Amino acid sequence: MHIAKGLLFGVVATGFGLALSWAFGCHDKPTQPRPVTPRDYALYWAKNVDDSTFYAYHTLTGEIDSFNMPGTRIYDMNVSADGDRVYVSYSDKTKVVGARDFTPIVDLPYSGWYGVAISPDNRFIAIQSGHLRIVRAQDYSVVYEDSLSVYRGVFSADGHRLYAPGPTSPCRSVYCLDLYDGFKTKYICVPDSYQISRVAPSLDERYLFMLRDLGNCSMFFDVFDATRDSLVFRDLMMPGCGDMTVSPDNQYVYLTGPGSILIGPPPAYTFARFAVDDAKIDSLVYWSTYCGLDVLTGIVGSDLTLTPDGRILAIVDGLVRNRLLLYDTQLGDTMRVLCRLGAGYWHLTCQNGR
């Protein structure tokens, strides 16, 4: 287990020195690949689930923009692959917002209660609730609809297929919709009857990474090899009920523990990192002064998102959602910790386009 201490920065910190060191710093390991040149990706979140205030944090400069978008309860947020559009799903609609000036573009009369996903090729929007609707991003027309209740679906890296937890009969399955082959649907049977709460494909779609709910604050992280039709890795997460994301280079899957510390006992780590090639998990713990108070507490990882270059992993503190940890995956250490007492980090998201 690796231990690191995160430094507390105010939300107005610019990070100018960090930006310069990224852009112009020495490369002291010439035999290894050069570091990724950073881009100013934006992280978005809502102040609360029933609030109209939203924030955009610029990862390179450290600047924060805020904007207001009145609506009902917020169920999900996501960003277009090119970063130009923000999709906010309310209880009665999904609002499309311009990311440059934060002005409303159109209201789609469909709620994404169970998630709003954007294809990495920026062609389709999957709005998931009691029905699955595939909407063309160019003109917002519905090109496919399924009465199946799809939950937290994600697109393949090329944007051609959508994966989601599937029906339980006649087997526990993963739902797969091929958007480039006549919207054909198939169900991939996976071992055991444990409920699938999250699923994501590997870059080549050979592996399916799954979080599976065991109840009692416990969860399996499973790796299923679709080419061999077999389970090739399993790890028990206690407590469970977490989140996961796959790195763009397919080297790692990042996992969090609980969705909330109130669900069960605190986890032993902020997040876990599964190395795909080695089939091995490393757990990492990070600490921070608690929002300016003279108390050093471990960050309990909950929601997470990754910038498209795989450089910055953003993790929300699941305790009361007052802290946001920015972890530099290239340096392997905490980059920044943001605190916002009284205003949480909800529906954290970033664009997925490369």
Note the pLDDT of residue 260: 53
Task: State how far the Cα of 323 lies from the Cα of 45, in Å rounded to an integer.
Answer: 12
Residue 264 — very low, low, confident or very high, per pLDDT cuts 50/70/90?
low
pLDDT mean over 302-331: 90
pLDDT over 70 at 34, yes or no: no
pLDDT over 70 at 324, yes or no: yes
pLDDT over 60 at 11, yes or no: no
Note the pLDDT of residue 296: 83
- Burial class of 70 by CB neighbour count within 10 A (0 to 12, 13 to 18, 19+): exposed
| Full-model pTM | 0.86
Residue 284 — very low, low, confident or very high, per pLDDT cuts 50/70/90?
confident
| Mode of pairing for the β-strands spanning 94-98 and 104-108 | antiparallel
pLDDT over 80 at 25, yes or no: no
Handedness of CA 54, 57, 58, 61 (dihedral sign): positive
N-term to C-term CA, the chain: 31
pLDDT over 60 at 203, yes or no: yes
pLDDT mean over 174-187: 96
Q: What's the one-letter identity of residue 31?
A: T
> pLDDT tens-digit profile of 76-110?
999 999 999 999 999 899 999 999 999 999 999 99
pLDDT mean over 3-25: 36
pLDDT over 90 at 319, yes or no: no
Note the pLDDT of residue 196: 94
Residues with Cβ within 8 Å of 228's Cβ and at least 6 positions away in sequence, in order, are none
> pLDDT tens-digit profile of 220-229?
999 999 999 9
Note the pLDDT of residue 74: 93
DSSP string for 24-59: H---S-TTSPPPPPP---EEEEESSTT--EEEEEET
| The token pair that represents 302 in the structure block | 């909950």
